[in-house]
Amino acid sequence: MVLPVTLSGAQFIGPEVSRDAPAEFSAFAPATGKALEPAFAEASAREVDAAMALADRAFPALYATSGTRRAELLEAIADEITALGDALIERAGAETGLPAARLSGERGRTVSQLKLLASTVREGSWVNARIDRADPARQPLPKPDVRSMLRPLGPVVVFAASNFPLAFSVAGGDTAAALAAGNPVVVKAHAAHPGTSELVAGAIQRAVRRCNFPDGTFSMLQSAGYEVGVQLVRHPLTKAVAFTGSLAGGRALFDAAVTRPEPIPVFAEMGSQNPLIVLPGAIAARGADLAAGLHTSLTMGVGQFCTNPGLILVLAGAATEGFVTALGERVASTPAGTMLAPRIAEGYRQGVGKASAIKGVSVVAQGSAGDGCTGTATLLRTTAATFLAAPELAHEIFGPCGLVVECADMAELERVVATLGGQLTATLHATDEELQKSPRLFELLERRVGRVIVGGFPTGVEVCHAMHHGGPYPATTDSRFTSVGTGALLRFARPVCYQGVSDALLPEELRNGNPRHILRLVDGNYTREAF
């Protein structure tokens, strides 16, 4: 397959392309089962070091950039990505098997999240500027002038995700947030879409040049193995890590980071089962819509979303039986879908096989089976007793598989919820009356998750100020931070405090005059006023 773009297959170390190592790997087209041209070079240890050193050299200049300048860079990246046109969608489609419509939509999301972060750092209040003015007359000691705001951390390593080849890959949410906060970024590209990655890296490079940012603002390394990633995480110049992927992968990087001589933060978003509770009253009120909506959420993108609702908790009864039957019918009529990579398809097959082999678990329905790198939609069913006795049923199966867990009553359902580990989301479909009768349920859910949804579905994560895409471990390695929305900026910044520092040396955001009129906490009062 020849595409109308030229790919180097090399590393991007700032503006330079580099190709040290003889080792190579190829992208694989999941829809055809064939390898794609060209071959991509594995990054060498020297290239890892060169990328990190260049990032470190760029940091002082980036540290000093204003929010306005950073906004310009993000917007230029968005424009350059748009300018890649169909070539990007075609290459991404070939490498991931995702349809063009989905990829166009994802490109739109990638561009709009760059622009949302640009508008946030241009406005500027996100830096949490705080000023406590001096009081030389205070007794027993004079009060000093103390000011603080968020400043960038230093070089950030971003691991691209396979399931969002644009929106959580080279120029995805993590890269956008790290750059927006003023940090250089070194991306470890995902081996499942190296060509897509190279196209986007080129777009970022052009934007860096156009906006006169330093060379080391952005680099990207290719690798199909684990070693390059671990080298990046353990590199002494790396100051933070962002990752989206599996629990095993995220935990390995976390372990590598926290055992460094200087531990660094790792923001690993590792997915979850995303429990969805459907109570009889909601089924009575809108059972058909619920079955349709849940089926869509479960099978969209061949279930390859970290917010895929893999665990469906219900109460025993006639209404529930009708709902499960309707959902099963929809699952049974689902065509097989091309999955992102053979390893993912194989992992999905094994996960479904293991879960359905557990005594007490039955297969309600399965969709069509396909050849090669495909996934078959599956609805499994068990009882709360079996679920509670088989801890392996509480592990995510990445793909279009839902496990219905039938609970005898609300007390048993609450017991199941109370055993769940940290989750990205929990979803509740219930009538107001049902919720009032079980006041503990909502609180049990929210204490375990990053986002609780009532009456909707967890997929389709809105990119906005209030979004929190995170959650207690094992959903993520740090429940205090989000990887989606403008809060994502906060991962890549730390407060720095200035005591007795004159206006000339202070960052603009902390000067008396407040030239950008940002919101600040001055002597305990929020204000946009200068003084």
Give the interface segment with a copy of itself, choosing from 30-38, 178-186, 408-416, 488-496 (CB under 8 A): 488-496
| 62 vs 364, beta carbon nearer a copy of itself | 62
Q: Least distance to a copy of itself from the beta carbon of 395, Å? A: 14
CA angle 269, 392, 461 (to 5 degrees): 30
Whether 37 is a known active-site residue: answer: no
Q: Is 504 exposed, middle or buried (0-12, 13-18, 19+ CB in 10 A)?
A: exposed
Catalytic residue among 42, 47, 198, 269: 269
For position 519 contacting a copy of itself by CB under 8 A, the verdict is yes
For position 450 contacting a copy of itself by CB under 8 A, the verdict is yes
Residue 151: what residue type? R
Give the interface segment with a copy of itself, choosing from 181-189, 212-220, 339-347, 490-498 (CB under 8 A): 490-498
Of the candidate residues 306, 403, 453, 489, the single one contacting a copy of itself (CB under 8 A): 453
Asked if 382 contacts 405 with a C-beta cutoff of 8 angstroms, the reply is: yes
Q: Least distance to a copy of itself from the beta carbon of 467, Å? A: 6
For position 526 contacting a copy of itself by CB under 8 A, the verdict is yes
Site string for a copy of itself, 264-303 (x = CB under 8 A): -x--------------------------------------
Secondary structure E strands in 260-326: 266-269, 275-278, 311-315
Asked if 446 contacts 472 with a C-beta cutoff of 8 angstroms, the reply is: no
What is the C-alpha separation between 160 and 193, in angstroms, rounded? 10
Residues 164 to 193 in contact with a copy of itself, rule: CB under 8 A: none
Residues 13 to 72 in contact with a copy of itself, rule: CB under 8 A: 59-60, 63-64
Q: Least distance to a copy of itself from the beta carbon of 145, Å? A: 9
How many C-beta atoms lie closer than 10 Å to residue 466's C-beta?
Answer: 10
Q: DSSP letter string over 156-214?
A: EEEEPPSS-TTTTSTTSHHHHHHHHTT--EEEE--TT-HHHHHHHHHHHHHHHHHTT--
Secondary structure E strands in 270-377: 275-278, 311-315, 337-338, 362-366, 374-375
How many C-beta atoms lie closer than 10 Å to residue 190's C-beta?
Answer: 28
Of the candidate residues 368, 419, 499, 512, the single one contacting a copy of itself (CB under 8 A): 499
For residue 16, what is the enclosing H or E element? strand 16-18
CA angle 310, 321, 289 (to 5 degrees): 65
241 DSSP β-pair partners: 157, 266
Q: Least distance to a copy of itself from the beta carbon of 454, Å? A: 5
For residue 219, what is the enclosing H or E element? strand 218-221
Of the candidate residues 4, 22, 136, 500, the single one contacting a copy of itself (CB under 8 A): 500
Residues 343 to 372 in contact with a copy of itself, rule: CB under 8 A: none
Q: Least distance to a copy of itself from the beta carbon of 375, Å? A: 24
Whether 24 is a known active-site residue: answer: no
Q: Least distance to a copy of itself from the beta carbon of 480, Å? A: 5
Secondary structure E strands in 391-475: 401-407, 423-429, 449-454
Q: Least distance to a copy of itself from the beta carbon of 179, Å? A: 18
Residues 405 to 424 in contact with a copy of itself, rule: CB under 8 A: 421-422
Per-residue tokens: 407: 């609970």
Q: Least distance to a copy of itself from the beta carbon of 156, Å? A: 13
How many C-beta atoms lie closer than 10 Å to residue 468's C-beta?
Answer: 20
Residues 466 to 485 in contact with a copy of itself, rule: CB under 8 A: 466-468, 470, 472-474, 477-480, 482
| 403 vs 444, beta carbon nearer a copy of itself | 444
Asked if 402 contacts 381 with a C-beta cutoff of 8 angstroms, the reply is: no
| 6 vs 502, beta carbon nearer a copy of itself | 502
Peptide bond into 194 cis (omega under 30): no
Residues 76 to 135 in contact with a copy of itself, rule: CB under 8 A: 105, 125, 130-132
Per-residue tokens: 146: 């103390």
Of the candidate residues 34, 46, 437, 465, the single one contacting a copy of itself (CB under 8 A): 465
Of the candidate residues 34, 46, 437, 447, the single one contacting a copy of itself (CB under 8 A): 447
Of the candidate residues 51, 94, 158, 493, the single one contacting a copy of itself (CB under 8 A): 493
Residues in the chain: 531
Residues 129 to 158 in contact with a copy of itself, rule: CB under 8 A: 130-132, 140-141, 143-144, 146-148, 151, 153-154
**Whole-angstrom distance between the N-terminal and C-terminal Cα of the chain?**
64
Residues 310 to 349 in contact with a copy of itself, rule: CB under 8 A: none
Three-state DSSP at 261 gives coil
Catalytic residue numbers read: 269, 306
